[in-house]
Structure 1
Amino acid sequence: MSPSPPAAAPAPALAAAPRWPLILLRAAATAVALLALLQVESAGSFLNGAFDALAAHAHTATALAAAVLVQLAAAVLVRWPGRGPLRPLGAAAGLAAAVVGQIGAGYGRALGVHVVLGTLLVSGVLFALVDAWRLPLPARAGHPAKDGADGEGEGDGGGRLPRPGGPLEVAQ
């Protein structure tokens, strides 16, 4: 009989992920969505003949670009140090690139590109918004989540955000 291999040492427990990066991501994604809605409204007003809406459209584009940069920074913080998924970071980077292209197409008066990219951009903004709000908040420090009738356990995986492809539990 051969000797059994030595037991592996238990992995050190990870500290709970901070909550504030995800809250910041949710707030930024919500602000981006609201600004995108204002963009659609001002574009529609301009196309209906209210030519002064073009100035509001330009100013809102600047605010939208700033909000997307905040969303990108928040997505970086969700990933590092929050140990969250990479998906929000990719979405925010894609939105940042699309906003830069959209502003360039608008000022360049390439309206065919501007309208199509605007439609795609609003769709991407809404997908990023839903994704930000679907990520579960890590447990607060000192307030473990309850996952059983006995009240014991850490129902959220110890405060870590789930990785893509892992099991997703739905609270009932």
Structure 2
Amino acid sequence: MSSPPAAPAPRWPLILLRVTATTLALLALLQAMLAGSFLNGTYDSLKDHEDNAMMLATVVVVQLVVAFFVRRPGGGPLWPLWSTALLTVAVIGQITAGYARSIGVHVTLGVLLVSGILFGLVGAWRLPLPVREGRYEGGPDGGGRLPRPGGPVEVKR
């Protein structure tokens, strides 16, 4: 006797993963811009760099919760959970190195963090979303497309 087929994974955790991954990528790129602005002599950017780091840390923790929901009820892949856990540890280390003024560690870890966040962004957007239930699948060709208004288009040569 075989077990019944598994229910499709819900869409909402994958959509939230895309939202948090996109937000993280934007915040990480803003972090790099604020660091560059500070190094160019705009010293007020350091406070903005710190505030943005706190927002980034908050979003990475939110993404950790979202990645859990991608895995557990949805039966999705495991990599978002592990990669986000690693990013969470790296962000904590990055903030610690920043407050300790350990610039060599801070800059190196910052480059690695931005790279990891961007890889996570690409991975989140490459995960296929399950098809919604109850979608219109009809149409004249059965593919869910409606005919063009005015009938088919003819091309004269």
* Aligned residue number for residue 155 of structure 2: none
* Identity %, equivalent residues: 60
Q: Which amino acid aligns with 1:142?
A: G
Structure 2 residue matching 1:73: 3-state secondary structure: helix
Q: 2: CA distance between counterparts of 1:62 and 1:12?
A: 45
* Aligned residue number for residue 170 of structure 1: none
Q: Which amino acid aligns with 1:112?
A: G
Q: Which amino acid aligns with 1:70?
A: V
Q: Which amino acid aligns with 2:121?
A: L
Return 5+ residue gaps in structure 2 as ranges: 144-157
Return 5+ residue gaps in structure 1 as ranges: 1-8, 152-172
Cα distance per residue 1:39-94 (max 9 Å; x no partner):
00000000000000000000000000001011111111100111001011111111
Instruction: For 1:68-147, list aligned pairs within 5 A.
Output: 68-143=60-135
Cα distance per residue 1:134-172 (max 9 Å; x no partner):
000011122398xxx876xxxxxxxxxxxxxxxxxxxxx
Does the CA-based 8 Å contact 1:16-1:141 persist in structure 2? Answer: no
- In the TM superposition, residue 10 of structure 1 has moved relative to its aligned partner by 3.0
TM-score scaled by length of structure 1: 0.78
TM-score scaled by length of structure 2: 0.85
Within the alignment, does 1:39 sit opposite 2:31 as a pair?
yes
Cα distance per residue 1:98-149 (max 9 Å; x no partner):
000000000010001000000000000000000000000011122398xxx8
Number of residue pairs matched by the alignment = 141
Within the alignment, does 1:61 sit opposite 2:53 as a pair?
yes
Structure 1 outlier segments of 4+, above 6 Å: none
CA RMSD after TM alignment:
1.7
Q: Which amino acid aligns with 1:14?
A: A
Does the CA-based 8 Å contact 1:33-1:126 persist in structure 2? Answer: yes
Structure 1 residue matching 2:54: 3-state secondary structure: helix
